[in-house]
């Protein structure tokens, strides 16, 4: 266990150093950046160690897998976000487990969140997922449809949009991802005047490109294998 702790400590320090360097490059404060541990398929003991090392925010892709870990780690004051594609039949459970849904991508899902949130008498913070690369294999609202989508979800008073998220196309050279992050920042700034003071989050950047995402305005970076090590197969 001590050996695992040392590995995770080393990984975390490398990531923190990269965050600081990216922030320094563009004159940002590293305190503005929230590091989310993307813990899909990672064991609870790694999450617990990272929590002790100062990571307080984690994200899960699957409701069932997340539920097991959240129950096992219920004694830790972790903030859990849902970062996968959310099926409508899993919304009820997801709202009882996660404090933020990062992947609102369709009106059908908004209707279900509204319905379940009414029954729970709560307001659900969400991020709108944008398919910034217009990839057929990925979920998300297309960039040119984001304003219309925004208008359509205004009728749902149990949904509070606090920002945008994306998973851009993968590129071997992270510099090639920069235009997608720039586009996300533009969309964020376009919506901000209408969205209110709680519209503050731009969730973008993963293990290979988070430094570029920070330079382009990310406030949440979702880090998986660079933090945890390889996922068990």
**Coil/strand/helix, residue 225:** helix
97: in domain: yes
Q: Which domain holds residue 6?
A: 2-228
116 neighbors 91 (Cβ within 8 angstroms): yes
49: in domain: yes
82: in domain: yes
**Coil/strand/helix, residue 126:** strand
Cβ neighbour number for residue 198 with a 10 Å cutoff: 11
147: in domain: yes
Instruction: Give tens-digit pLDDT for 108-140.
Output: 999 999 999 999 999 999 999 999 999 999 999
101: in domain: yes
Domain holding 164: CATH number? 3.20.20.10
Which pLDDT score, from 0 to 100, does residue 196 have? Answer: 85
- Domains identified in the chain, total number: 1
- C-alpha Rg value of the chain to the nearest Å: 17
What predicted TM-score, i.e. pTM, was given to this entire model? 0.96
36: in domain: yes
233: in domain: no
């Amino acid at each position: 266990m001590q050996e695992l702790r040392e590995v995770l400590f080393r990984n975390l320090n490398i990531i923190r150093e990269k965050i600081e360097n990216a922030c320094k490059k563009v004159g940002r404060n590293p305190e503005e950046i929230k590091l989310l541990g993307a813990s899909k398929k990672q064991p609870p003991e790694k999450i617990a160690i990272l929590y002790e090392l100062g990571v307080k925010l984690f994200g899960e892709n699957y409701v069932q897998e997340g539920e097991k870990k959240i129950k096992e780690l219920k004694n830790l004051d972790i903030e859990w976000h849902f970062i996968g594609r959310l099926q409508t039949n899993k919304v009820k459970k997801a709202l009882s487990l996660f404090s933020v849904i990062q992947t609102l991508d369709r009106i059908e899902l908004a209707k279900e969140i509204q319905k379940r949130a009414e029954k729970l008498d709560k307001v659900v913070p969400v991020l709108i997922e944008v398919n910034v690369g217009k990839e057929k294999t990925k979920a998300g609202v297309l960039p040119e449809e984001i304003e219309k989508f925004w208008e359509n979800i205004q009728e749902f008073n149990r949904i509070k949009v606090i920002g945008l998220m994306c998973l851009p196309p993968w590129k071997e050279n992270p510099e090639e991802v920069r235009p997608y992050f720039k586009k996300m920042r533009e969309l964020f700034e376009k919506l901000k005047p209408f969205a209110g003071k709680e519209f503050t989050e731009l969730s973008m950047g993963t293990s290979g490109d988070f430094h570029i995402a920070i330079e382009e305005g990310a406030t949440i970076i979702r880090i998986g294998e660079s933090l945890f090590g390889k996922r068990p197969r």
